[in-house]
């Protein structure tokens, strides 16, 4: 079932990850964001129990951890799908049709931007820039970059990943 299924079951393991990472930052002010980044990289997202443990270990109020995690789009409060389709919405991509790509993917997968399909296969995300402006509009799935896309091409690509 992939890493996200494992992450949901392994609460004690997730809390141990927090303890390990937070210990590396002990006594270092301004370490909340790096702790959140590293924990998310290991756990896959930031469930409530993990954020509460981060607050405890970092010595900050839980409301501050939740506030930071919900403010910055890099942090996930829910597990991501097995495949994350990131559509660049930087200036070049936006003017070349990125909104139409996102709309097509969302329609194809039956989700809203930022959501994960019920089967856990796909998450669709609009992102600020993927650094491939000359290929606009661009979508990435894992480490694969697809450029100069039409909405129909984006739909075909996600269908291939789903099989």
Whole-angstrom distance, CA of residue 121 vs CA of residue 159:
11
Cα angle, residue 60 at apex, residues 54 and 66 outer, rounded to 5°:
60
Q: What is the pLDDT at residue 10?
A: 52
The CATH number of 3-71 is: 1.10.10
Please give the Cα distance from 107 to 110 (Å, whole number). Answer: 5
Q: Two tokens at 147? A: 């450029």
Where along the chain do the CATH 1.10.10 domains lie?
3-71
Name the pTM for this structure: 0.74
Query: Which of the four CATH numbers 3.10.20.30, 3.40.225.10, 3.40.30.10, 3.30.390.50 does domain 83-161 have?
Result: 3.40.30.10
pLDDT in tens, 108-130: 999 999 999 999 999 999 999 99
- According to CATH, where is 3.40.30.10 located in the chain? 83-161
The whole-number pLDDT of residue 163 equals 58
pLDDT, tens digit, 9 for 90 and up, residues 60-83:
999 999 999 999 878 999 899 999
- The stretches in the chain having pLDDT less than 70 are 1-10, 163
């Amino acid at each position: 079932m992939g890493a996200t299924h494992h992450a949901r079951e392994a609460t004690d393991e997730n809390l141990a990850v927090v303890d390990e990472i937070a210990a590396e930052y002990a006594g270092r002010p301004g370490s909340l964001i790096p702790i959140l980044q590293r924990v998310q990289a290991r756990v896959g997202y930031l469930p409530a129990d993990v954020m509460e443990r981060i607050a405890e270990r970092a010595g900050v109020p839980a409301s501050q951890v939740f506030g930071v995690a919900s403010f910055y789009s890099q942090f996930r409060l829910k597990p991501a799908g097995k495949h994350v389709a990131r559509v660049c919405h930087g200036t070049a991509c936006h003017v070349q049709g990125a909104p139409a790509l996102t709309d097509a993917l969302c329609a194809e997968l039956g989700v809203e931007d930022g959501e994960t399909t019920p089967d856990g296969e796909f998450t669709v995300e609009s992102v600020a820039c993927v650094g491939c402006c000359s290929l606009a509009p661009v979508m990435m799935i894992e480490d694969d970059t697809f450029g100069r896309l039409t909405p129909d091409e984006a739909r075909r690509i996600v269908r291939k990943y789903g099989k």
